[in-house]
Amino acid sequence: MTLSQTFVPIRSCESQFVNLRGLRAHVRIWGPADAPRLFLLHGWQDFSGSFQFLVDALVGDWRCIALDWRGFGQSQWNHGCYWFPDYIADLDALLDHYSPGEPARILGHSMGGNVACVYAGVRPERVAGFVNLEGFGLPATDPEDAPGRYRQWLAQSRQLAPSRRYVDRGALAQRLQRLNPRLTDERAAFLAEHFGVEDGQDAARPIVVASDPHHKLLAPYPYRLEEAKACWRQVSAPVLWVEGSESSAMQMYRGLGEGEYASRMACFANLRRVTVQGAGHNLHHDQPEQLAGLIETFFS
């Protein structure tokens, strides 16, 4: 693959760097200042620029605001452990900065959806509506697994696995397509161009993904599903619950059993469930036009 195949954006964005709780955070912004604001929250091992395809597919004028979570993209790294509550507080600070006077429209993908799910229950007055792209929580963990999790975390902390390296951005684009065969050459090249960086540590393989390798540490604490559900039950905003018909992540959710999956949806008082055909877990990459139509209808 050559980067001459790079996707050409329709809507250009501007970059801003803002201080969020002492963190130098990078934010991409598309659209006119007086348009309705829509906050876009990316998933794990992703970055704000991957919403470009979705932003281009929106028909109306929107002020789209997308944060690089700490440790991803151009935002500051912790260079240490990452704790889920920090993302919730970073989102709170982001909304205080860009939408201090009104409840926010939020779209969250995967990890970003999980962050927004909890936030919308903790701060229901700050959320006007929420589109959740497969950020439906994790499998419940067994407390008996705690000793093993802590042992594994200690071992990983002592010898952090290095980031995967690539000879050039074309090789990174090919890797992205192996992970997601639905990704076109043009979109894969665009993602590789903007999320791949040259760090100078290996002349033969100079390109790495702009992500702190500490993100790959196993969290030592368990995922407490019942605590998440307690937050979800406090959500008062309407929720659009979106799944990809070909998503590997959805296989995990469905493997929990229809009753367990339904119990997650039942936590939300005002929820509409939609399946996007021809999409995997990264719906905003695979079917941005379908997704844009759903979003604009939902927020209308």
Residues assigned a catalytic role: 110
Report DSSP letters for 154-181, one per residue. HHHHHSPPPPP-BSSHHHHHHHHHHH-T
Residue 179: HSE in the Cβ half-sphere, 13 Å Cα cutoff: 14
Question: Cα–Cα distance between 162 and 212 in angstroms, integer?
Answer: 10
199 by Cβ neighbours in 10 Å (0-12 / 13-18 / 19+) ranks as: exposed
From residue 204, how far is each of 159, 174, 208, 234 by CA, in Å?
23, 17, 12, 52
Tokens at residue 40, please? 């876009």
Handedness of CA 114, 277, 106, 25 (dihedral sign): positive
Tokens 């993602």 sit on residue: 191
Q: DSSP 3-state assignment of 86? A: helix
Evaluate whether 49 touches 191 at the Cβ level (below 8 Å).
Answer: yes
Classify residue 30 by its DSSP letter.
E
Question: Cα–Cα distance between 212 and 185 in angstroms, integer?
Answer: 26
